[in-house]
Amino acid sequence: MPRTARDVVFVDGVRTPFGKAGPTGLYAETRADDLVIAVIRELLRRNPALPPERIGDVAIAATTQIGDQGLTIGRSAAVLAGLPATVPGYAIDRMCAGALTAATTVAGSIALGAADVAVAGGVEHMGRHPMGEGADPNPRFLSEKLVDESALIMGMTAENLHDRFPAITRQRADAYAAASQRKVAEAYAAGTLQPDLVPVAVRSAGSGWGLATADEPPRPGTTAEALAGLKTPFRPHGRVTAGNSAGLNDGATGCLLAAEDVAAGLGLPARMRLADYAFAGVEPEVMGIGPIPATETLLARNSLTMDDIGLIEINEAFAVQVLAFLDHFKIADDDPRVNPLGGAIALGHPLASSGVRLMMQLAREFAERPQVRYGLTTMCIGMGMGATVLWENPLYQEAA
């Protein structure tokens, strides 16, 4: 039977507060799947008009799919969250773009008509499962010189970017990082980020039970001058530091996507309309440039230029990676379109979960800027990839 693709909308998104990975972090004694459960339950609580049985699928990403991040986590978390047994689920891995890929994958199902509504998200508990835990890279990568050994260490790929683009100095990277911290502090002070957070019960053997209600990684008051004194762990006299990179973090995100007509019929909000998306591959040694070809492909396919894009949410894995993107598209380091609420350098980057955080922040920015029609969520991906999603603002009002 002939099928017609349906428009897909972003209905809502929530996330746990992000924690610092490690034995003293927020979630040191909290399971990864329990973070996902909290997110799914909160999505349902916030959207009571959605009958749970209307959810057609649950796609949850994790980069390290073992332990409490394994067992087909989309399905297991759905069952544990109390969704009907009839709701299926699955797991996704595209490293840092896991949640973003979960969203685009279920969007394809919705557009085709295989589902009307779906949950997409991601989780990473880097304290329990450090990146690469249990991995066994094929020795052919190095023995046959398919990649340089630096390709397997993300911090080294960032140093490689500094080598390739000498105009991106450590001073610029530190200044960008300090600005990200400042923007997050301002967003917290204005109460802008808090509505997207679901409080999570946390346990510590030493201090008992508590409640996580705010992100742990931000460092308000950070200055570029203070960042200049940090060590460069990936290379002697290098340019990449803990201060101009995202940290090691724990956290989960989730969102509801739906066919636009179904959302309207159920009385659910349409906060963003998915227009298009693109993935691209690049040299693994400089994986940070991945968002550039992905974005170029997307703009060309939709007959747009960067001048048509009113908001850009780019994941801040490393400041140098963001600055390479900005330089390529001739965007100033302090362009107000870019990460207005701050980014991962301050908030944290629990790998597979971050893509949906970008979407949540873009949706919030769209609501405040009806003059903006198009926005991007974009990120680099380990092993040499990039991903970009083009979103349209349903509230767009063309200037008279």
pLDDT of residue 62: 98
pLDDT of residue 206: 82
3-state SS, residue 245: strand
pLDDT of residue 152: 87
| Choice among 96, 129, 162, 255 that is catalytic | 96
| 204: β partners | 208
Residue 104 lies in a domain: no
Residue 5 lies in a domain: no
- Dihedral sign, Cα of residue 114, residue 257, residue 251, residue 178: positive
Name residues whose C-beta falls within 8 Å of residue 195's C-beta, 6 or more positions apart in sequence: none
Residue 356 lies in a domain: yes
pLDDT beneath 70, residues of the chain: 1-3, 399-400
Residue 183 lies in a domain: yes
> Six-digit token pair at 26?
């927020």
| Choice among 125, 129, 162, 349 that is catalytic | 349
Residue 333 lies in a domain: yes
pLDDT of residue 399: 60
pLDDT of residue 205: 82
- Dihedral sign, Cα of residue 151, residue 152, residue 154, residue 159: negative
Residue 42 lies in a domain: no
Residue 177 lies in a domain: yes
Domain coverage including residue 344:
146-192+275-391
pLDDT of residue 2: 65
pLDDT of residue 398: 74
Looking up residue 381, the CATH number of its domain turns out to be 3.40.47.10
3-state SS, residue 32: helix
Q: Let me know if 237 is a catalytic residue.
A: no
For every residue of 54-99, DSSP letters joined together read GEEEEEEE-SS-SGGG-STHHHHHHHHTT--TT--EEEE-BTBTHH
Residue 399 lies in a domain: no
Distance from C-alpha of 330 to C-alpha of 325, rounded to nearest angstrom = 9
Q: Let me know if 255 is a catalytic residue.
A: no
What's the mean per-residue pLDDT of the chain? Answer: 96
pLDDT of residue 204: 84
Number of domains in the chain: 1
> Six-digit token pair at 271?
């906060």
> Six-digit token pair at 151?
């390709």
